[in-house]
Amino acid sequence: MDSRTDQRFDSQGAGITVQRALELPGLRSGLPEVLAGADRLQRTVRWVHAGEVPNIASLLKGGELLLTTGYGLGTRPADQRAFVRTLAERGIAALVVELGPRFTRLPAALVDTARAAGLPLVQLHREVPFVTVTEEIHTEIVNGHYALLQQAEEVHRRCTEALLGGGGVPQVLGILADFSSNPVFLETSDGRLLYAAGAGPEGAEPLQVWEGLRGPHKDAPPPAGSVLVDVPGGGPGTGSVRARLVLLPVRAPLAPVHRIAAERAAGILAVVLMQARQEEELAARGRGDFLTDLAEGRITPQDAPAQARVLGFKPGTGPLLPVVMRLGDALTPDGGTASSSGAESGGGWAVLARAVAEELASVGVPVLLGVRPVEGRVPLLLGLRSESERSAVADRVAAALRAGVERAGMQRPGAQPPVVVVGVAGGWAAASAGLRHAAETATAAQGLTDRPWYDARRLDIDLLLWRLRDHPDLAAFVDRTIGPIRDHDRRSRPPLLPTLETYLAHAGRKAETARELHLNRQTLYNRLARIGELLGTDLDDPQSVLALSLALRARRHVP
């Protein structure tokens, strides 16, 4: 049953209509005749009351269908007019008067007043058992409520199945949006958008609907007919609100069944959000999903600016700078290495997102920060004023990211810090490609000699080697090229690989190599000679140097 189209029930789905009540056998057997309010027979009948006292209006709450034989109407026209006016003011659904000993026809004062007040007035030409009428209507109302509850329970069942099947918040919102035929939004308690689902008018994106109706007016009441349902948080009995479901009636009216379904969905979302632990994490995940979708081409550069504005990112007209921080596997907030109370309680990504965001506030440029827990990444977009400030901003951002990791309790003493990779600055199309490149490069850069940040363009060789990590030829190349040095270092001291790495990093400049290794020149010369002897190669030969450099980079990716 669809409460929006079935005329047995009122448009709000909370009772039956006056029209439907007149069609039931009890009232129909009384040959009902509508004398006033024929255009208002779709009013809601929420209950039935029978009575014969003059002040019966004081006993009613509104929405009732009142059955009477007329003894309480009075004999004077003034009393009859007052009787009808008080009922209309009380908001009853209809007045049904049974003709008989009291009235053989209803007085003109009664009829005229009902017409003026817009109150449906019905006279019954035959006697009917009022108890039968009451039972029939109440049964119909209860059945209607049960039908609505069945619809809401079906939505609840589908949402539960979606979660058990591995779905999350987007799937729950999508089911609710399909059921209500309207866009559905999940906001934080202070009005920030977390998720959206369902199309708006003429297929408009839900983010466009939210930005037009909710984005600039978070503190204003929602449009008339909207449904807002709090998603509880903080544990049973606390009364705290973690988020809010918002259904906007932009494509079709919303009925109480949609509120009931939203309340059922809110209970499910409370469980999902409890697992996420923190609103900050949920919002950061949403931004991380947006940045990942942009990187992987699921969001076009043309659509990205509008969606970014909804997420709070307004970069201006300058170039965009993509940045990706990747935590080492031992440092991920869910890896159990953190010592902060937030991380220990399971809200590590929320703690990290909040700490990093606070550190980034001092950078002085617009920032869109997200998290991707599955990949252990923190993607960002920054709005620059010009390309010339790329390096300076990258320095500040890398320092802020590292500081945020330390504040969140994710950095253990002696552990390698997270890798920060900075992409190419440019427009939205460049940001899409840059985020994808930086994300891949950040993975490939794990284990490199520590720098505050890496330029993604200078790590393409590392990225290529990382992509070849499972190819047996790469392991064979590493073993063939530097295997003798690795064998030496397993057996003897001092190790020679650090000397070779430093020598190549300084492009064969012996004085700089000796200074960095704190060696005198003769000791360095002896070590380089020993390396050349073990490898059977000339360290001054460009081809040999290239092969050694590649092998040293590749050894991080092979056993």
Strands 367-369 and 64-68: what pairing? unpaired
Query: What digits encode the pLDDT tens for the residues 209-226?
Result: 877 776 555 566 778 888
- For residues 181-189, give the mean pLDDT: 86
Place of tokens 């019905």: 122
Residues 33 and 14: their CA atoms lie apart, in Å, by 25
Q: Which amino acid is at 34?
A: V
Query: What digits encode the pLDDT tens for the residues 285-311?
Result: 889 999 999 999 999 999 999 989 888
Query: With contact defined as beta carbons under 8 Å apart, do 40 and 91 qualify?
Result: no
Instruction: Please list the residues that pair with 121 across neighbouring strands.
Output: 36, 95
Task: Report the pLDDT value the prediction gives residue 295, as an integer from 0 to 100.
Answer: 93
Average pLDDT, the chain: 84
Residue 124 has pLDDT above 80, yes or no: yes
- For residues 67-75, give the mean pLDDT: 89
Query: With contact defined as beta carbons under 8 Å apart, do 531 and 500 qualify?
Result: yes
For domain 282-465, say whether CATH 3.40.630 is its number.
Answer: no
Lowest mean pLDDT among 16-20, 317-321, 342-346: 342-346
Backbone φ and ψ for 48, nearest 5 degrees, come out as -120, 135
Range(s) of the chain covered by CATH 3.30.70? 282-465
Range(s) of the chain covered by CATH 3.40.1390.20? 16-140
Superfamily for the 16-140 domain: HprK N-terminal domain-like (3.40.1390.20)
Per-residue pLDDT band for 330 (boundaries 50, 70, 90) equals low
User: For 167-276, which CATH class?
Assistant: alpha beta
Range(s) of the chain covered by CATH 3.30.450.40? 167-276
Residue 283 has pLDDT above 90, yes or no: no
Place of tokens 């290239």: 546
Per-residue pLDDT band for 375 (boundaries 50, 70, 90) equals confident
| Most confident among 27-41, 181-195, 200-214, 461-475 (mean pLDDT) | 27-41
Place of tokens 């057997």: 29
Residue 255 has pLDDT above 60, yes or no: yes
- CATH number of the domain located at residue range(s) 472-557 in this protein: 1.10.10.2840
State how far the alpha carbon of 176 is from the alpha carbons of 1, 102, 274, 510, in Å. 17, 53, 20, 69
Residue 319 has pLDDT above 90, yes or no: yes
Instruction: Please tell me whether the overall predicted TM-score, pTM, comes out greater than 0.85 for this model.
Output: no
H/E element, 17: strand 16-17
SS3 of 430, please?
Answer: helix
Selected residue with higher pLDDT from 8 and 42: 42
